[in-house]
Amino acid sequence: MSTINRDAVRQTILDALSSVAPEADLASLDPKAALRETLDLDSMDFLNFVIALHKALGTDVPERDYAKLATLESCVEYLVTHGR
């Protein structure tokens, strides 16, 4: 997986986060920070985040894998690995 692709995935994730937490300052988001706690996402926000990822990348993340989307870094890792 090329760096460019990884950056594109990262940007897609940030866009998806921005759609569920429009007031968040994502520029200062620590890639290792727990997303749900840091951005105060409730379970509906998180579902909307997963749906936004699905729309942008076509990846349908099953519920049992939600834990793998815990941080920005792990999201990039998961989506790069599971992207279609």
Partner 1 sequence: MPSLGADMDAGTLVEWHVGPGTVVKRGDVVALVETDKGIVEVEIWESGTIDAVLVAPGTKVPVGTVLATTRADGAPTPATAAPPAVLNPPVSPAAPHAEVRASPAAKQLAREQGIDVTKLHGTGPHDTVTRADVERAVGATATGAPATSPEHERMQAPPPPAAAAERPSGIDTAGMRRAIAAAMARSKREIPHYYLSADIDLAATIAWLEGDNARRPVTERILLAALLLKATASAIREVPEINGHFVDGVFRPSSAAHLGVAISLRQGGLIAPAIHDVQDKSVAEVQIALRDLVARTRVGRLRSSEMSDPTLTVTNLGDQGVESVFGVIYPPQVALVGFGRVVERPWASGGMLGVRPIVTATLSADHRVSDGHRGGVFLAAVNRLLQRPEEL
CB of 2 to partner 1, least distance (A): 22
Locus of tokens 């990884």: 6
* Other CB atoms within 10 A of residue 19 CB: 15
Q: How far is the CB of 11 from partner 1 (least distance, A)?
A: 9
Closest distance of CB 22 from partner 1, Å: 3
Task: Look at the chain and count its residues.
Answer: 84
Residues binding partner 1 (CB under 8 A)? 14-15, 18-27, 39-40, 42-45, 47-48, 50-51, 54, 60-63
Q: How far apart are the first and last CA of the chain?
A: 12
Q: Which is nearer to partner 1, 8 or 51 (CB)?
A: 51
Judged by beta carbon, residue 4 or residue 22, the one nearer partner 1 is 22
Is 30 or 42 the residue whose CB approaches partner 1 more closely?
42
| Spatial CA neighbour of 40 closest among 26, 13, 21 | 21
Supply 54's token pair: 């699905």
